[in-house]
Amino acid sequence: MNKIIAVSALILLSNIAWAQNDNLLFDDSDIIVRANTQTQNADIINKAKDNADAVNMAKDLLKSAPRRLEAPTAVSFSSAAKPKNKKKSVSTFAAPFGLLWNASVDETTNQGVELTPVEMKDYPNSFQASHLPKSIDFFERVYVSFGEMDELNRILVYSHPIEDNAQAAKTLKYYKIYSENLDNKYGNMQQFFTPAPVEVKKDQNAQEAPQKDNSIGNPDFLAQLTSGEAVLYSTYHNDNVSATLSINVDGEQKSYIVIDYSNLQVIKKQEKQTFDAL
């Protein structure tokens, strides 16, 4: 009987031990399983959240796209010719008559220069200038152009009218003086002369008439300049400035020395902008 009780007790103790071990194993496995379950659930939740965000982003994109691009507002020529508050793209440097290349209209008037608006074809924002910092009595009229970017880019000057003879002797004298000065200052002088055409006629005996003189300063040179049959001008330039010296004659055969200066910095910049835009 005692043996039976002892065996029963051993079996009972053994079952309790296995039960405890089972509980331990179950608990351990439960921890592992629960951990895996939580991780998977977290991944699922995160993926769902990411998907929801992606869907919302897609909805937002669909709502905002496609966008219609509107054409920019057209700017009138007058407002383009007189820009306001434009940031200067280049610095100023010395120009003829004490002016400053690349200076704005305001900067030029601040020098004490008086500007009177004038219309000049192909040169917007142009003025006749007076009270120049450095004036030359020989020149009567000075015109300046600032262009659409409000930067001084051209200076055009006319001498006082010159009362001259048929050979344009006085005018040619001044032409030579200013040609030498411009060549000394800017260099690279090139002179261009287009003589008046010579009409060759034959007399009754089929002999050629003497050829008419069409050289610079010939007896009819002033008349030839007046009619445009003869043209005389010279060009000069350095890296920043070009100048053209010419002789103009009006209908009353009064001649003028004319110098046309151009700011090559502005021209080069405009050419670069055009090239970049192509």
pLDDT in tens, 128-143: 999 999 999 999 999 9
- What is the rounded average pLDDT of the residues 155-173? 96
- Specify whether the backbone of 168 is left (phi greater than 0), alpha (psi in -120 to 50) or beta: left
pTM value surpassing 0.85: no
| Average pLDDT, integer, range 148-174 | 96
∠ CA 118-123-125, nearest 5°, is 55
Q: What does each C-alpha distance from 242 to 133, 178, 183, 189, 261 come to in angstroms? A: 21, 14, 11, 10, 6
Residue, of 9 and 263, whose pLDDT is higher = 263
Q: What pLDDT does 213 receive? A: 83
Domain boundaries, the chain: 1-60, 90-197+213-277
- Whether residue 232 contacts residue 247, with contact meaning beta carbons closer than 8 Å, is answered with yes
pLDDT of residue 208: 61
SS3 265: helix
For 3-59, write each residue's pLDDT tens digit: 544 445 444 444 444 444 433 332 333 323 333 444 444 454 454 454 544 444 333
Order of strands, sheet of 126-130, starting from the edge strand that comes earlier in the sequence:
114-118, 126-130, 139-145, 154-159, 255-263, 241-249, 231-237, 190-194
| Better pLDDT: 212 or 229 | 229
C-alpha distances in Å from residue 92, one per residue of 89, 99, 107, 275: 10, 10, 10, 24
- Note the helical H segments in the chain: 2-64, 77-81, 105-109, 169-186, 221-227, 264-277
